Every structure is written in structure tokens, then in C-alpha cells.
């Protein structure tokens, strides 16, 4: 749509149409078309502040206008106008309780990091319509975000019993199970296999593919993800995109991104071809991938939210791989391989995967530091006179097991403090909840500080306030660990049995700091205390960290991409020879044959 057309629409809104409803319909129609065509800025321009104000002022409080207000709110949200979207939902709720409006407003609050308000809204949604299991599932999600993990999981299981065919809710359960304080790898594997049997039975998969059999030709590699945006996955995936040898691979992106942003636009330009499949159903998306003759399709999300695993269940590519976005098996027979390394997943982990593990030789991650990262700040303890520990991990990863370990660390380092950056950490109710927990574990409330959501640059600057980062367990940090190291902050991590609790070890090993990976809780405490009492060593580590990372290869995109491409090539040659991984209804039962 031309700029002159945009102007015509805005002028029609302000002066010419017969009713507020007509004005709104015309603007929404134009904005919707712009959004569906990927023209995010044009949609935002159509719904400028003046236009939205005119519409809001002239629309009467009439139940007949609800559907228009819902659509207006949705488009405002997707164009980054969250405050105006919030007002639309409030206008709907002014007419009376409405489960859909409470649910949408709760999701908006969760997106904005206003977790306590999100929890209130989702409770009100369930009160308005108590027999809708999808509302129970949404409430469960927020309960887990506020730290009530077990209550949330129990409610989510209840919801799944009422809607057993809901693959996304079932995926959410699998993801959250990794955050329980006592992981049972065997039970976790059984849960994943059950998801595969219910939602992705082998009969769904295409039985054959007509890709050209030529072992040495350029490969068409497709990457499919909902997270081609400002997201932790992008900090690692963009390195792979940048490092790929375009003489060896032709790259296709299949983005299912609900809220595109500047990172989305940047990533689009780095693919040879980009397909927006957000509003494309699974059958059509699979058909598109087959039409593109993709040789290797790589899933980057696993069972995280908005995943498109049901596209891969249809086996649109002859070789399918899962990588990066999820710390475990998918449980699907249609996915052939999972990329990892031998520290993050020991060889014996193969028996707990339906995919064949492929161990990359120099680690499974390549980090792309943000362009806006500030310089490393001086050691805070030098100015404050005491050690500040910190963790910026997701709320769900903080459980009594790791919380008590942190309390022991604080008790062993006199005068030390703990800084937690949590989603919703600015809300008094959430702050009080976490402060009370640490008080029960023997920590003076004055020694624990909390803060909430920060802009990306403020988030990195906040590392300038901590001396030592404390990793979570059993679900380690990934992006937060790399960010801390890039900002000069050493990380203490605890090693467990599963991938989720071994990522810290993998990352620290890459930069020569594996000493800070502990095998027991007691060792975790001892390492944290030892580092805290050696301020001169802390200062030297901080000052030399970026040079250490540069020398390590953790950020060497081309080198990392060569290893990934070598793995892809061997997968392809194996497929061309007709030696596909065995599929017998269970795990492969062997190490990688690549």
C-alpha cells in the first residue's frame, strides 16, 4: 500500500466515514493486510496514536463492538503498542466479565513481564468460564512463571486429561518437567515417547522422498522455528547462519513468528529464501517444504511454545534434525538426529532419545554477542566492599534445591549479597514471595535484591553489578551463562545427569573455565566461596574474559558452521546410500554412526 493510500485511510478515519465501526473496519482491514504481508511498520503507521484515540473515543460501550475491539487489540499488540492494546481489553471488560478478554489481557501482561497481573487475569478467566480446559492450561503456565511449578504442572495435567489432543499444551508440560527439582531421566523419556505416540505416530510421515541422489551436491537446508526474533535461540542460531558456507548449502527459513521484530527482519535477509508460515497449517507447511525440495530440515524449538513439530511429523524432508532450542529428545520417530556434544550429553544418553545423537567435536553452541553490549565494568566488590552474587535466569528455574544451595553460599561469605533478576521482579507481591523463601532458608531479607524486566541493553549493563553468577539447577542457563561470561562475570554451575543440567559444563569447558563446574552441591558452595575470597583473581578473570572467549572459539561462527555442515554432509551421504537410522519403535540404541 502506498503512502498516499495510508494517508487516505487515516483521513477517512478522522473526518469522513459514517460511523466509528466503519472507520475501525477500514483501518483494521488495511492493517491486517499489511501484517499478513510482513509490513509491520506500515501496520503500525496505520494505527497511529491519533487514529486509535479517535476510534476509542467514538466507539460506544456496546457489546456488539467486542469483536472489533478484540481485533484492534491483537493488531496493536503485534505492532508494539502494548499500552493501547491493554486499554482495548479493559474497554471490553468494562462491559462485564469476559473470559476471552481476561485470557488475552493475561497473556499480554505475561508478555510485558507483569506476571502478578497476568496471574490475576488468568484466575478471573477461569472464574468466568470454569469448564474450559484451555483456560486451565493458560493459568498453569502463569503459575509456573510465578514459581508455583508443581501446582502449575498438576493443573496442566488436569487440563490435558480434558483435551488429550492438544499437542501444544502437552509440549508445554514436557518442557516444564525439566524444571522440577528432582528429574528422573527414565520417566522424562517415557513422557516424551508418549507425546510422540499420541501426536506424531509414524503413519503420519511421508513414506518416500524424490530428492536428487547426489552425495556431493549443494544441500538445501531448511530451518524451522517460532523464534526468529529477539530470543535466546537467535543469539546462537545467527552465528550458524553467518558462518554457513553458501557454496555447500542453500538456506531456507520457515518462520512461525508471532511477534516479528528487527531481529526477524535481519535474519530474513540472511537466508537464501524465507517463508512465513505463522498462519499456514501443518499440512500446507509440510507441502511447502516438500515443494522446496529440502534435503535436511532442522527444528530449532523442540517442545517449547509455538513449536511446529507437527509439521515435522509429516516428514516433509528425507532427513530431519532437532537442535538448539530444547534440551531433550522430541520423542518423535520422524526426526532422525539431534545435534549435541559429548559434555552436554554423555554417550549413554543415546538410550533416552528417539533421535540418533550427533556429537559436534567442539561444542554444540556458537554464541553471537549482542552488538550493543557495553564494555566490561570494573569489579563491583572493589567499590562496594562486598561480593554480589547474581542470577538472571527464568523464575521457573529457581527451586528449593538450588535456592538452599545459594543460601549456603551467602551464609559462607560474610556480607555478601544476592541479586535476582526475575520476570515480574518489580511487582511487590512477587518480590515478597521470593524474599520470604530466602528468609525461610536462613537469609536476611536485606541481603537479597530483586529487579524485573529490563531492556536488552539495560539487562547487559546489570551484569556490572554482580561479581559472580550462580547458575540454576537442574535446568542450567544457556544464554544467561554466555552473557555473564561476555560481561566478565564467572559462572558457578552444578552438573547433573541430563542435558539441561550439563549445558553449564559444556560452555565453561569451551572457555577453559571448567573448574567452575561442580559435581556436588557441596563442591558448588566451596567453589563459589573460594572465588569470592579471591578478589584479586576475580578482577583478573573479569579483565581477561573477553580475550579468553575470543581465543576459545565459542564465538567463531565459521569454524562452528564447518562442523555442522560436515555432520549434515555425512547424514546426506548416509541417506543416499540407503543407510537410514533404524526405526524400531524405540531409541536407536547406539552411538552416532556419522
pLDDT tens for 319-329 read 999 999 999 99
Mean pLDDT of 261-273: 96
Q: Specify which residues 391 forms β-bridges with.
A: 420
pLDDT band at 10 (very low <50, low <70, confident <90, very high): low
Q: Within the chain, what is the greatest distance between any pair of CA atoms?
A: 74
pLDDT band at 60 (very low <50, low <70, confident <90, very high): low
Phi, psi of 16 (to 5 degrees): -120, -20
Which has the minimum average pLDDT: 65-79, 151-165, 233-247, 465-479?
A: 65-79
Mean pLDDT of 387-414: 96
Residue 582 reports pLDDT greater than 60: no
Q: Bigger pLDDT: 179 or 21?
A: 179
Q: What DSSP character marks residue 554?
A: T
Q: Is 399 helix (H, G, I), strand (E, B) or coil?
A: coil
The C-alpha cell that represents 405 in the structure block = 544451595
Please state, in angstroms and as integers, the Cα–Cα distance from residue 511 to each residue in 242, 334, 546, 572, following that order. Answer: 21, 35, 10, 32
Whether the model pTM is above 0.85 = yes
pLDDT attached to residue 57: 67
pLDDT attached to residue 182: 86
Whole-number Å distance between alpha carbons of 327 and 344:
9
Whole-number Å distance between alpha carbons of 194 and 53:
50
The C-alpha cell that represents 99 in the structure block = 473470559
pLDDT band at 586 (very low <50, low <70, confident <90, very high): very low
Phi, psi of 213 (to 5 degrees): -80, 100
Whole-number Å distance between alpha carbons of 492 and 410:
14
Mean pLDDT of 499-520: 97
Average model confidence (pLDDT) for the chain? 91
Q: Specify which residues 219 forms β-bridges with.
A: 249
In terms of Cβ atoms closer than 10 Å to its own Cβ (0-12, 13-18, 19+), residue 221 is buried
pLDDT band at 590 (very low <50, low <70, confident <90, very high): very low
The C-alpha cell that represents 214 in the structure block = 547426489
pLDDT band at 66 (very low <50, low <70, confident <90, very high): confident
Q: What DSSP character marks residue 212?
A: -
The C-alpha cell that represents 363 in the structure block = 561444542
Which helix or strand (DSSP H or E) is residue 221 part of? Answer: strand 219-225
- Structural domains of the chain ordered from first start: 3-178+188-197 (1.25.40.10), 202-368+558-576 (3.40.50.11380), 380-552 (3.40.50.2000)
Residue 134 reports pLDDT greater than 90: yes
Q: Give how far the C-alpha of residue 115 lies from the chain's centroid of Cα atoms, to the nearest Å.
A: 17
pLDDT attached to residue 31: 79
* 8 Å CB contact between 281 and 304: no
Q: Where are the alpha helices (DSSP H) in 12-48?
A: 20-36, 40-46
Whole-number Å distance between alpha carbons of 32 and 15:
22
- DSSP labels for 135-165? HHHHHHHHHHHTT-HHHHHHHHHHHHHH-TT
Amino acid at each position: 500500500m502506498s503512502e498516499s493510500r495510508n494517508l487516505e485511510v487515516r483521513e477517512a478515519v478522522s473526518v469522513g466515514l459514517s460511523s466509528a465501526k466503519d472507520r475501525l473496519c477500514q483501518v483494521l482491514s488495511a492493517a491486517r493486510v499489511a501484517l499478513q504481508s510482513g509490513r509491520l511498520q506500515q501496520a503500525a503507521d496505520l494505527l497511529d496514536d491519533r487514529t486509535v484515540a479517535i476510534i476509542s473515543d467514538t466507539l460506544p460501550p456496546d457489546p456488539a463492538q467486542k469483536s472489533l475491539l478484540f481485533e484492534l487489540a491483537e493488531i496493536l499488540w503485534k505492532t508494539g503498542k502494548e499500552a493501547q492494546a491493554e486499554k482495548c481489553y479493559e474497554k471490553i471488560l468494562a462491559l462485564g466479565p469476559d473470559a476471552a478478554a481476561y485470557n488475552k489481557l493475561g497473556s499480554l501482561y505475561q508478555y510485558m513481564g507483569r506476571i502478578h497481573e497476568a496471574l490475576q487475569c488468568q484466575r478471573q478467566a477461569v472464574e468466568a468460564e470454569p469448564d474450559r480446559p484451555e483456560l486451565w492450561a493458560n493459568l498453569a503456565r502463569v503459575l509456573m512463571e510465578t514459581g508455583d511449578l508443581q501446582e502449575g504442572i498438576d493443573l496442566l495435567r488436569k487440563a490435558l486429561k480434558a483435551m488429550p489432543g492438544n499437542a501444544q499444551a502437552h509440549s508445554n508440560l514436557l518442557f516444564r518437567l525439566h524444571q522440577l527439582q528432582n528429574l528422573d531421566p527414565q520417566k522424562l523419556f517415557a513422557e516424551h515417547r508418549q507425546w510422540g505416540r499420541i501426536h506424531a505416530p509414524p503413519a503420519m510421515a511421508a513414506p518416500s522422498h524424490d530428492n536428487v541422489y547426489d552425495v556431493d551436491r549443494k544441500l538445501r537446508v531448511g530451518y524451522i522455528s517460532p523464534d526468529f526474533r529477539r530470543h535466546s535461540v537467535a543469539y546462537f542460531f545467527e552465528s550458524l547462519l553467518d558462518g554457513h558456507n553458501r557454496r555447500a548449502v542453500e538456506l531456507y527459513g520457515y518462520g512461525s513468528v508471532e511477534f516479528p521484530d528487527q531481529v526477524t527482519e535481519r535474519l530474513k535477509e540472511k537466508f537464501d529464501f524465507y517463508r512465513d508460515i505463522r498462519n499456514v497449517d501443518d499440512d500446507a507447511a509440510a507441502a511447502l517444504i516438500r515443494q522446496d525440495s529440502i534435503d535436511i530440515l532442522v527444528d530449532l524449538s523442540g517442545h517449547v511454545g509455538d513449536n511446529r513439530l507437527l509439521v515435522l511429523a509429516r516428514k516433509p524432508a528425507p532427513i530431519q534434525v532437532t537442535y538448539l532450542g530444547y534440551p531433550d529428545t522430541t520423542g518423535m520417530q520422524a526426526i532422525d538426529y539431534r545435534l549435541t556434544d559429548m559434555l552436554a550429553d554423555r554417550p549413554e544418553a543415546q538410550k533416552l532419545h528417539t533421535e540418533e545423537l550427533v556429537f559436534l567435536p567442539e561444542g554444540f553452541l556458537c554464541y553471537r554477542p549482542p552488538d550493543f553490549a557495553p564494555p566490561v565494568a570494573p569489579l563491583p566488590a572493589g567499590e562496594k566492599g562486598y561480593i554480589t552474587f547474581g542470577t538472571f535466569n527464568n523464575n521457573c528455574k529457581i527451586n528449593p534445591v538450588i535456592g538452599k544451595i545459594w543460601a549456603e553460599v551467602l551464609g559462607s561469605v560474610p556480607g555478601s549479597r544476592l541479586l535476582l533478576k526475575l520476570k515480574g521482579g518489580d511487582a511487590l507481591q512477587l518480590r515478597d514471595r521470593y524474599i520470604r523463601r530466602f528468609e525461610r532458608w536462613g537469609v536476611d531479607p536485606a541481603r537479597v535484591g530483586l529487579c524485573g524486566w529490563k531492556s536488552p541493553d539495560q539487562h547487559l549493563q546489570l551484569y556490572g553489578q554482580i561479581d559472580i553468577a550462580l547458575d540454576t539447577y537442574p535446568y542450567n542457563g544457556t544464554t544467561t551463562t554466555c552473557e555473564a561470561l561476555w560481561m566478565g562475570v564467572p559462572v558457578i554451575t552444578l552438573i547433573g545427569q541430563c542435558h539441561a543440567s550439563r549445558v553449564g559444563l559444556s560452555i565453561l569447558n569451551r572457555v577453559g573455565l571448567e573448574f567452575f563446574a561442580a559435581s556436588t552441591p557441596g563442591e558448588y558452595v566451596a567453589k563459589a566461596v573460594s572465588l569470592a575470597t579471591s578478589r584479586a583473581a576475580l578482577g583478573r578473570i573479569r579483565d581477561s574474559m573477553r580475550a579468553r572467549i575470543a581465543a576459545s572459539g565459542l564465538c567463531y561462527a565459521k569454524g562452528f558452521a564447518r562442523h555442522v555442515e560436515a555432520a549434515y554432509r555425512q547424514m546426506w551421504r548416509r541417506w543416499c546410500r540407503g543407510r537410514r537410522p533404524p526405526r524400531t519403535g524405540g531409541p536407536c540404541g547406539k552411538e552416532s554412526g556419522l
